[in-house]
Amino acid sequence: MRVHAQRVGALLGGLLFPALSMADWTVNMTPGVTGTSNDIFNLHMTIFWICVAIGVVVFGIMFWSIFAHRKSQGAKPANFHENTMVEILWTLIPLVILVIMAIPATATLIDMYDTTESDIDIKVTGYQWKWQYEYINEDFGYFSNLTTPSDQIRNRQAKGENYLLEVDNPMVIPVGKKVRFLLTANDVIHSWWVPDFGVKKDAIPGFINEAWTRVDKPGTYRGQCTELCGKDHGFMPVVVKAVPEEEYNTWVADQKAAAEKERELTQKDWTMEELMERGKTAYATACAACHQADGSGAPPAFPALRGSAIATGDMAAHIDVVVNGVSGTAMQAFGGQLNEADLAAIITYERNAWGNKMGDMVTPKEIFDYKNQQ
Amino acid sequence: MAEQPANKTVPPRSNARVIGWCLASVAGMFAFGFALVPLYDVFCEITGINGKTSGRYESTERSVADMSRTIKVQFLAQNGPDMPWIFRPVARSVEVHPGEATTVNFYAENPTDRDMVGQAVPSLSPSEGALYFHKTECFCFNQQPLSAGQNTEMPLVFIVDQDLPSHITKLTLSYTLYDQGEPQAAVTETTSTTNKTIIDNG
Amino acid sequence: MSAVAGTHAQDHHHGPASGISRWLLTTNHKDIGSMYLIFSFTMFLLGGTMAMVIRAELFQPGLQIVQPEFFNQMTTMHGLIMVFGAVMPAFVGLANWMIPLMIGAPDMALPRMNNWSFWLLPCAFLILVSTLFMEGGAPNFGWTFYAPLSTTYGPPSTTFFIFAIHIMGVSSIMGAINVIATVLNMRAPGMTLMKMPMFVWTWLITAFLLIAVMPVLAGVVTMMLMDINFGTSFFNAAGGGDPVLFQHVFWFFGHPEVYIMILPAFGAISQIIPAFSRKRLFGYAFMVYATGAIALLSFLVWAHHMFTVGVPLAGQLFFMYATLLIAVPTGVKVFNWVATMFRGSLTLEAPMLFAIAFVILFSIGGFSGLMLAIAPADFQYHDTYFVVAHFHYVLVPGAIFGIFASAYFWLPKWTGYMYDETLAKTHFWLSFVGMNLAFFPMHFLGLAGMPRRIPDYALQFADFNMVSSIGAFMFGATQLLFLLIVVKCARGGVKAPAKPWEGAEGLEWEVPSPAPYHTFTTPPDVK
């Protein structure tokens, strides 16, 4: 009971002091960690208090009328019903208030449209249902997938601290640098939002949008896709790690090395066990959202793979579906999204998991050759 | 039920006229909805909204390059859904002076075993800059057929206008390449078949 | 609402036919008005049930009741049904019943068309609801059906959805034409435009809005239809189209649509507040001008729904300023209502309670609208629960409370009996508390960063979602009480006099209660 009483107290406190922020009962916007987000926060509070002031005056007069001019109190109705002067007055006064609101809003907006040179450009591409981040000046990029296990979502496991707001590969940016985001989408419209940065921009297929930020405080910042993009719209979070510059530089070097290693992985000789092991993980991130972890799918949109004609049929056809997708359906072309090792592992896994017993395998090198020759 | 009790006074206006006006407005607004499509394109072209770049630029006068300014033009390339081609700019970015014509190439390769046609759709950011970015030659004006296994370098010739607002120092031009299906018999070899152009704003 | 608006002893004209053909073939504005209202309430319960599914899923984090696919179908259908099935038909029903009575006309100007425009609605919604049972499910792309999610990526049922939108569009347009013809041609002698009751005025302006924007909606869904089935590329970037164009065209319809859903409520409230304040409406002329100004401005603000799509700076500024400007005429209306109550002689019957709640809560929705209009701040609010809170504050205590207030206000005229005041007040207070409990925490959720249209959410949003769900269940269950009150009132009770409200004014109170099947066959004298 005590906990509940505290919560009610917190709720009331929250109602009275909107600037107050609490762990669970957060009632207000975050001031964030960038100049823009702070500007927005101040603007938000200014407008909010102006609205509160107007509300207090108008509702005050109204409640007083309701209270004092009740018939049961013997109130006799007055006879007035128009006054042009008053009408003009309450047209002009709000107009002035609006101008007062518009001035700081305009200044903030102009600042947000700053197009001066940036230090780092990151291309953000929205996919159903993941983000791709490409560091276009550094020649590497990767996908960022939700890592919250399905068991947590389906309530079979306790939910973790960052439930639904955790990814395998967060975006990494250096602090104190101007980072420019170039946003586009592959399939439908998505929207990339990090509340702490005050950045929200739509990612539109075929079009490019830009936004920028400069983060001064190192930390991990979390947001979500904010434009309805289909089934898993609620399951494609945005996670950005802001790190000191040296750490960022090390990270970039590591990423480049890793990209090189991926290329080597393609050339390496793989055993069935290695492929199956890698395939299980890769399948969970890239395929399980639609086809389910047990390969049962969600027909008719997402066919089952367990015992399916593709996964238990001709190898070449199976590779074709995974690499090139099936146009007109939700099956995407994964050839451009996954590296050869993952593609080979996933295909091998699909042919040999959940009772599919094809016994055959495809190596990353074969996929590499397939992609380059066909 | 049909009996409409007769009102003694004759209505000041006939119902037919009111209905006529209303239906005309309805038809007009329906047409307006469709008219918004070309109007929007025109509007975009005038204001540069949405980063839509305009079509082929016909230079009326010899432009003089403004050597005092340098603009960085950055190129992005991505594939539309289910597009298996390899598509990338040959150079990631170039530095140009406003007014000078610059040629860059994009590399495209069809790795599949079937003949295909692609169409690149351009978009420029910041969208304000779209007004000042002129393409005199672009692979995006036409569809691009590539037979199985074929690759090509596709040219883009552009001029950045001298009137580009001074606060813009970098332009990002992005192309999204879409699968347009199998090539039709009539247009196989050449890319200059203008009647296959489906994008007039590109 | 009224099965009893039937035979009356003093009715010298033909009474209604008996049996089902009375309802199928009727051209009587009162019958059609009743059918609209009953249809609307049915849709309100159906859309409300979907809202209950949504709130039940969001009661706790995690997926427990429905799958994300079905959740998206629920949010989409809830929106479509509430907008096109509950709110709009309710206002058309009120217009049918009250406009002829208020302007001293014997019926609507185009009675046969009136019958068609009603019967199209059940057809449209039968098609729309049947998509739930189709393969691939009902539309799942939100009531705003943004392309390409609704075109290239839409479920097979999208074509049926488009067809349903077409039919309800035709129905709305016919209803609007009827209102315009009635108001322009059927007024009793002496009933000049500037003597018309506010409800008639707001409806006339609404009807013009409908004529202007419903064809645009029809246009945009037709373009979708062509993109899906005939290979055009209006909204498909791959073919040279532009998904953002969809949003421009949609919101060109969508923003005036918002006012279509609120202006008639403004009108009804402008009837009710003076009646229970026993004082004439303050600033009648300015109320009319303000309504007109809101309607005109509503065409210039559509892109404020699209601040994050990448509109250039000049566009952002224009749409921000234009949107802020709408606050001026809206403010004028609120100030005039307050001035009407000021130094009146107030009583607080159910219609007045709903009307006062309307003024307060709609203003709160207006305030959050003002905040949303500030473009830079909108970058944080856009597509979060703050927006959900905003438009539910405008639509639930705005449109819906306006309809409840009207229903209680005119029920005695429709049924001939007084409703149960105690039950009605209970209905009000439970609705008021439930509604605020459901929607006020959504402001907090949005500001804390919860996106809209998600079936599951991060743990920090759990507490307020639970509060909100409890409020929603309370509000939902309370509406069954309204059904009970109306049925009870229609079946009997204290006989209502011709003018049951002391301060009410207008021609509708000069005919007996219940209003005879045919009224004003001889035009009344308007002083």
Residues of A with CB below 8 A from C278's CB?
Answer: 71, 77
Residue the block writes with tokens 């909010």: A48
Same domain, yes or no: A104 and A133: no
Stretch among A59-63, A312-316, C406-410 having the lowest mean pLDDT: A312-316
Does residue B82 sit in helix, strand or coil?
Answer: coil
* Interatomic CA distance for residues C248 and B36, integer angstroms: 9
Residues of C with CB below 8 A from A231's CB?
Answer: 68-69, 72, 140
Number of domains forming the structure of chain A: 3
CB of A301 less than 8 A from some CB of C: yes
Does residue A121 sit in helix, strand or coil?
Answer: strand
> According to the model, what pLDDT value does residue B54 have?
65
A332 occurs within a structural domain: yes
Residues of C with CB below 8 A from B5's CB?
Answer: 13, 106-107, 518, 521
Query: How far A277 CA lies from chain C's nearest CA (Å)?
Result: 29
Banded model confidence at residue B185, pLDDT cuts 50, 70, 90: low
A19 occurs within a structural domain: no
Residue A178 bridge partners (DSSP) = A214
Whether residue C466 contacts residue C55, with contact meaning beta carbons closer than 8 Å, is answered with: no
Q: C interface mutation test: which of A6, A87, A150, A329 has the most C CBs within 10 A?
A: A87
Query: How far B190 CA lies from chain A's nearest CA (Å)?
Result: 23
B118 occurs within a structural domain: yes
Residue the block writes with tokens 């009603």: C118
Nearest CB among C14, C216, C311 relative to B33 is that of C216
B92 occurs within a structural domain: yes
Which residue does chain C place closest to A156, by CA atoms? Answer: C62
* Interatomic CA distance for residues C146 and C243, integer angstroms: 8
> According to the model, what pLDDT value does residue B30 have?
93
Whether residue A64 contacts residue A54, with contact meaning beta carbons closer than 8 Å, is answered with: no
> According to the model, what pLDDT value does residue B62 have?
59
Contact across the interface for A205 and B148, Cβ inside 8 Å: no
A246 occurs within a structural domain: yes
Distance set, CA A36 to CA A224, A238, C183, C306 (Å): 19, 19, 52, 19
Stretch among A137-141, A179-183, A189-193, C228-232 having the lowest mean pLDDT: A137-141
| Last residue within a domain, chosen from A65, A92, A112 | A112
Same domain, yes or no: B109 and B188: yes
Q: B interface mutation test: which of C242, C308, C521 has the most B CBs within 10 A?
A: C242
- Residue C337's identity, in one-letter code, is W
Contact across the interface for A164 and C458, Cβ inside 8 Å: yes
- First-to-last C-alpha distance (Å) of chain C: 31
Residues in chain B: 202
C25 contacts: CB under 8 Å, gap ≥ 6:
B1, C17, C115
**Residue B201 reports pLDDT greater than 60:** no
CB of A217 less than 8 A from some CB of C: no
CATH number, domain of A165, equals 2.60.40.420
Size of interface A-C (CB pairs under 8 A): 293
A14 occurs within a structural domain: no
CATH number, domain of A351, equals 1.10.760.10
B101 occurs within a structural domain: yes
Contact across the interface for A25 and C464, Cβ inside 8 Å: yes
Query: Which is more confident, A345 or A329?
Result: A345
Same domain, yes or no: B43 and B143: no
**Residue A319 reports pLDDT greater than 70:** yes
Same domain, yes or no: B110 and B171: yes
Contact across the interface for B33 and C186, Cβ inside 8 Å: no
CATH number, domain of B157, equals 2.60.370.10
Q: How far is CA A372 from the centre of its chain?
A: 33
Query: How far B37 CA lies from chain A's nearest CA (Å)?
Result: 17
> According to the model, what pLDDT value does residue B191 have?
40
Query: Which is more confident, C239 or C129?
Result: C129
Contact across the interface for B176 and A206, Cβ inside 8 Å: yes
Do the bridges between strand A171-174 and strand A237-243 make them parallel or antiparallel, or are there none, so unpaired? parallel
Write out the H or E segment, with its range, that includes residue B133. Answer: strand B133-138
**Residue A114 reports pLDDT greater than 90:** no
> According to the model, what pLDDT value does residue B52 have?
66
CATH number, domain of A58, equals 1.10.287.90
Name chain A's partners: 3 or more CB pairs within 8 A. Answer: B, C
The tens digit of pLDDT for each residue in C351-391 reads: 999 999 999 999 999 999 999 999 999 999 999 999 999 99
A46 occurs within a structural domain: yes
Q: Is the peptide bond before C514 cis (omega within 30 degrees of 0)?
A: yes
B145 occurs within a structural domain: yes
C358 contacts: CB under 8 Å, gap ≥ 6:
C265, C269, C397, C398, C401, C402, C405
Distance set, CA C449 to CA A33, A105, A355, C492 (Å): 15, 21, 43, 51
Give the dihedral of Cα atoms C290, C295, C297, C300; nearest 10 deg: 180
Q: Which domain holds residue A349?
A: 268-372
* Interatomic CA distance for residues B15 and A122, integer angstroms: 62
A21 occurs within a structural domain: no
Query: How far A205 CA lies from chain B's nearest CA (Å)?
Result: 8
**Residue B57 reports pLDDT greater than 80:** no
Q: In CATH, what class is C20-509?
A: mainly alpha
Query: How far A333 CA lies from chain B's nearest CA (Å)?
Result: 5
Residues of B with CB below 8 A from A206's CB?
Answer: 80, 121, 123, 176, 178
Same domain, yes or no: B144 and B73: yes
Same domain, yes or no: B86 and B42: no
Same domain, yes or no: A288 and A351: yes
* Interatomic CA distance for residues A57 and A299, integer angstroms: 58
B77 occurs within a structural domain: yes
Same domain, yes or no: B34 and B88: no
Number of domains forming the structure of chain B: 2
Q: What is the DSSP string of A4-36?
A: HHHHHHHHHHHHH-TT---SS---S----SSHH
Same domain, yes or no: A289 and A327: yes
Residues of A with CB below 8 A from C377's CB?
Answer: 40, 43-44, 47, 105
Same domain, yes or no: B106 and B35: no
Enumerate the domain spans of chain C.
20-509
Residues of B with CB below 8 A from A187's CB?
Answer: 81
Q: Please name which of B85, B73, B95 lies closest in space to residue B154, comparing C-alpha atoms.
A: B85
> According to the model, what pLDDT value does residue B66 have?
79
Banded model confidence at residue A353, pLDDT cuts 50, 70, 90: confident
**Residue A286 reports pLDDT greater than 90:** no
The tens digit of pLDDT for each residue in A243-281 reads: 999 999 999 999 988 888 877 777 777 888 888 888 888
Point out the residues of C that are catalytic. 78, 107, 143, 171-172, 255, 257, 259, 270, 304-305, 330, 333, 452
Average pLDDT estimate for B65-81: 88
Same domain, yes or no: B38 and B92: no
Contact across the interface for C234 and B37, Cβ inside 8 Å: yes
The tens digit of pLDDT for each residue in C13-28 reads: 567 777 788 888 899 9
B97 occurs within a structural domain: yes
Same domain, yes or no: B116 and B71: yes
Say what percent of chain C tops pLDDT 90: 90
Same domain, yes or no: B107 and B177: yes
Query: Which is more confident, C361 or A4?
Result: C361
Q: Which domain holds residue B112?
A: 52-59+67-196
What are the structure tokens assigned to C349, written together?
């019957």
Whether residue C219 contacts residue C162, with contact meaning beta carbons closer than 8 Å, is answered with: no
A237 contacts: CB under 8 Å, gap ≥ 6:
A146, A164, A165, A166, A167, A222, A223, A224, A225
Same domain, yes or no: A314 and A361: yes
**Residue C433 reports pLDDT greater than 50:** yes
Name chain C's partners: 3 or more CB pairs within 8 A. Answer: A, B
DSSP state of C501: S
Q: Please name which of B198, B156, B160 lies closest in space to residue B73, comparing C-alpha atoms.
A: B160
Which residue does chain B place closest to C520, by CA atoms? Answer: B7
Nearest CB among B28, B34, B121 relative to C240 is that of B121
Same domain, yes or no: B98 and B172: yes
Write out the H or E segment, with its range, that includes residue B184. Answer: none
A336 occurs within a structural domain: yes
Q: Please name which of C502, C316, C291, C340 lies closest in space to residue C412, comparing C-alpha atoms.
A: C502
Which residue does chain B place closest to A331, by CA atoms? Answer: B82
Same domain, yes or no: A92 and A175: no
CB of A112 less than 8 A from some CB of C: yes
Mean of the per-residue pLDDT values for chain C?
93
Contact across the interface for C324 and A30, Cβ inside 8 Å: no
**Residue A19 reports pLDDT greater than 60:** no
Q: What angle do CA A192, C326, A94 make, to 5 degrees?
A: 110
B151 occurs within a structural domain: yes
Residue the block writes with tokens 């450009």: A121
* Interatomic CA distance for residues A197 and A220, integer angstroms: 11
Distance set, CA A309 to CA A286, A302, A305, C349 (Å): 20, 14, 8, 69
Query: How far A242 CA lies from chain C's nearest CA (Å)?
Result: 19
Task: Give ipTM to 2 decimals.
Answer: 0.90
The b-or-e profile of A79-99 (16+ CB within 10 A means b, else e) is eeeeeeebbeebbeebeebbe
